């Protein structure tokens, strides 16, 4: 099956083309779509591109940062405003992938990818479509694959205070490899106790997700080995990690408390 | 299937080719232009064997839609040597036995060139990071890392080509 490529000047025009064609997919950096094209994916036959400069911009807006969906991991690493996301961007692939892979694309990455999405989940991320509609990232992910597909224009995140945001990616290959388990944590403290923690995993389910059981177990706990013990015991409550070439479901469950502990105390 | 005209420079030479919708850059370079130096490894962005520089930055040509390089400047391993004179990186790879089967060498060299162009005196950790997206199944990486560090010492990053 041949592929048709349509290029538009604005993201609005591209969104319009996407909404009217179930066989169209938007391409940002190409690391997902071109891979599918190379593999002969038959689920789409049109690739939509947008040469919209706004997709590549990072802008502060109040206490939030607006990150264009076309911003690459390399752009994040070059941005002082996004320094809190540097460890996350650095964990994504090698330099060539980072020059191509975009924030928007990461929202659509299938298991075992999606490290950036896990981080965004705990940074109170809002996803804005080209039409202006916004939703919380968790809601966006739930409806991600439903038709009609929208075009993600940007995401916005809260800039964390020092020490609140933690990130850790575990893989079996050094220095870089596919994630065995990625943990992102937002752990604010009040009076020496954790209050309002947000925890997300990637590579532990079909897509990155918040882990409610761990968040509840952290509420009111101290951020030390004793304080987080209940959270570690709940590390895999309610989730069934996948088995893949990297690790079995059993293995992921066994090591999850170890990586969660490292993320919380060393991340 | 429709074809689109695309113009770019490859190793300093002007190129004009017709590309098919959905055709990746690696395919265009190898079959359309005849530059066989970038290799087809996985086609999934995993191995790095197809790495080329686009406007000086490393990209995976197998995951690059060919028509998006219109007007851009590309560099491949095929342009490293100047006649019979090897690029310092190529020379260092040879002296350090940094290639066995050689299939990864093209991508490794371009990843290393991108690093040295930006950072002429990298640390060992920076070299390891620079080639972290390139897989080698023969050497165990050590000879490659040593070769890149040696090339850096010999001034590879200060050479323009």
CATH number of residue B48's parent domain: 3.10.20.30
- Specify the pLDDT at position A260: 98
Q: What's the rounded mean pLDDT across residues A55-65?
A: 95
Residues B95 and B152 in one domain: yes
- Specify the pLDDT at position B145: 98
Range 96-115 of A in CB contact (< 8 A) with B? 96-97, 99-100
Q: What is the CA radius of gyration of chain A?
A: 19
- Specify the pLDDT at position B1: 65
Q: Do residues A99 and B115 make contact, with C-beta atoms less than 8 angstroms apart? A: no
- Specify the pLDDT at position A145: 83
Is residue B160 pLDDT above 60, yes or no?
Answer: no
Q: What's the rounded mean pLDDT across residues B73-97?
A: 96
- Specify the pLDDT at position B158: 65
Q: How far apart are CA B69 and CA B55, in angstroms?
A: 10
Is residue A33 pLDDT above 60, yes or no?
Answer: yes
CA closest to B51 among chain A residues:
A96
Q: What's the rounded mean pLDDT across residues A58-82?
A: 96
Q: Which domain holds residue B71?
A: 3-78
The 10 Å CB-count burial string (b at 16+, else e) for A89-107 is bbbbbbbbbbbbbbbbbbb
- Specify the pLDDT at position A183: 98
Angstroms from A153 CA to nearest CA on chain B: 20
Q: In this predicted structure, which of A41-55, A134-148, B117-131 has the lowest mean pLDDT?
A: A134-148
Residue B2's pLDDT band (boundaries 50, 70, 90)? Answer: confident
CATH number of residue B145's parent domain: 1.10.150.120
The residue from B25, B58, B78 where one domain ends is B78
**Cβ contact (<8 Å) for A39 and B44?**
yes
Strands B3-10 and A46-50: unpaired
The rounded mean pLDDT for chain A is: 95
Task: Tell whether B129 is covered by a domain.
Answer: yes
Q: Do residues A144 and A93 make contact, with C-beta atoms less than 8 angstroms apart? A: no
Task: Tell whether B13 is covered by a domain.
Answer: yes
Domains of chain A: 4-50 (no CATH), 53-158 (3.30.465.10), 165-266 (3.30.390.50)
Residues B71 and B92 in one domain: no
Across the interface, which of A4, A31, A175 has its CB nearest the CB of B45? Answer: A31
- Specify the pLDDT at position A1: 55
| B133 interfaces chain A, CB cutoff of 8 Å | yes
pLDDT in tens, B10-45: 999 999 999 999 999 999 999 999 999 999 999 999
Is residue A60 pLDDT above 70, yes or no?
Answer: yes
Residues B55 and B107 in one domain: no
Task: Tell whether B149 is covered by a domain.
Answer: yes
**The pair of three-digit structure tokens given for residue B119, joined into one six-digit string:** 């950072």
The residue from B37, B60, B78 where one domain ends is B78
Residues B14 and B72 in one domain: yes
Is residue A193 pLDDT above 70, yes or no?
Answer: yes
**The pair of three-digit structure tokens given for residue A88, joined into one six-digit string:** 């996350």
Question: What secondary structure, in 3-state letters, does B32-95 show?
Answer: HHCCCCCCCCCCCCCCCCCEEEECCEEEEHHHCEHHHHCCCEEECHHHCCECCECCHHHHHHHH
- Specify the pLDDT at position B161: 52
| A176 interfaces chain B, CB cutoff of 8 Å | yes
The residue from B78, B110, B134 where one domain ends is B78
Task: Tell whether B105 is covered by a domain.
Answer: yes
| B114 interfaces chain A, CB cutoff of 8 Å | yes
| B88 interfaces chain A, CB cutoff of 8 Å | no
Report the predicted TM-score, pTM, of the whole model to 2 decimal places. Answer: 0.95
Specify the number of domains making up chain B: 2
Residues B112 and B69 in one domain: no
What percent of chain B has a predicted confidence (pLDDT) above 70?
Answer: 96
Q: What's the rounded mean pLDDT across residues A121-140?
A: 96
Q: Please count the CA atoms within 13 angstroms of the CA of A31 that sit on its side-chain side.
A: 31
Q: How far apart are CA A59 and CA A112, in angstroms?
A: 30
């Amino acid at each position: 099956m041949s592929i048709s490529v349509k290029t538009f000047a604005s993201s609005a025009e591209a969104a319009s083309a996407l909404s009217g064609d179930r066989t169209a997919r938007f391409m940002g950096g190409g690391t997902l779509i071109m891979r599918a094209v190379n593999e002969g994916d038959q689920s789409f036959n049109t690739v939509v591109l947008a040469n919209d400069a706004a997709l590549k911009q990072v802008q502060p807006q109040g206490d939030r940062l607006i990150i264009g969906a076309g911003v690459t991991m390399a752009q994040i690493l070059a941005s002082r405003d996004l320094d809190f996301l540097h460890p996350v961007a650095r964990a994504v692939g090698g330099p060539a992938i980072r020059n191509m892979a975009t924030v928007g694309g990461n929202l659509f990455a299938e298991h075992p990818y999606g490290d950036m999405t896990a981080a965004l989940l705990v940074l109170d991320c809002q996803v804005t479509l080209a039409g202006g509609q916004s939703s919380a990232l968790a809601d966006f992910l739930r409806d991600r694959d439903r038709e009609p597909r929208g075009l993600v224009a940007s995401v916005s995140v809260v800039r964390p205070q020092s020490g609140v945001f933690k990130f850790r990616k575990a893989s079996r290959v050094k220095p870089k490899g596919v994630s065995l388990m990625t943990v992102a944590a937002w752990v604010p403290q009040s009076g020496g106790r954790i209050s309002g923690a947000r925890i997300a995993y990637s590579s532990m389910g079909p897509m990155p997700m918040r882990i409610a059981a761990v968040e509840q177990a952290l509420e009111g706990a101290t951020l030390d080995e004793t304080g987080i013990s209940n959270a570690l015991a709940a590390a895999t409550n309610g989730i069934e990690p996948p088995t893949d070439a990297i690790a079995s479901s059993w293995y992921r469950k066994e090591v999850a408390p170890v990586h969660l502990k490292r993320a919380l105390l060393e991340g | 299937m429709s074809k689109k005209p695309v113009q770019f420079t490859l190793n300093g030479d002007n190129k004009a080719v017709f590309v098919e919708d959905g055709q990746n850059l690696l395919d265009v370079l190898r079959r359309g232009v005849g530059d066989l130096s970038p290799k087809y490894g996985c086609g999934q962005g995993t191995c790095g064997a197809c790495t080329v520089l686009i406007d000086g930055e490393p990209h995976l040509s197998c995951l690059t839609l060919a028509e998006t390089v219109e007007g851009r400047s590309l560099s491949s391993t095929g342009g490293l040597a100047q006649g019979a004179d090897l690029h310092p990186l190529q020379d260092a790879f040879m002296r350090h036995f940094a290639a066995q089967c050689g299939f990864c060498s093209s991508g490794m060299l371009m990843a290393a060139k991108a690093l040295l162009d930006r950072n002429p005196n990298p640390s060992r950790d920076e070299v390891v990071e620079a080639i972290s997206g390139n897989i080698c199944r023969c050497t165990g990486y050590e000879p490659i890392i040593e070769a890149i560090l040696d090339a850096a010492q010999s001034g590879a990053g200060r050479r323009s080509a």
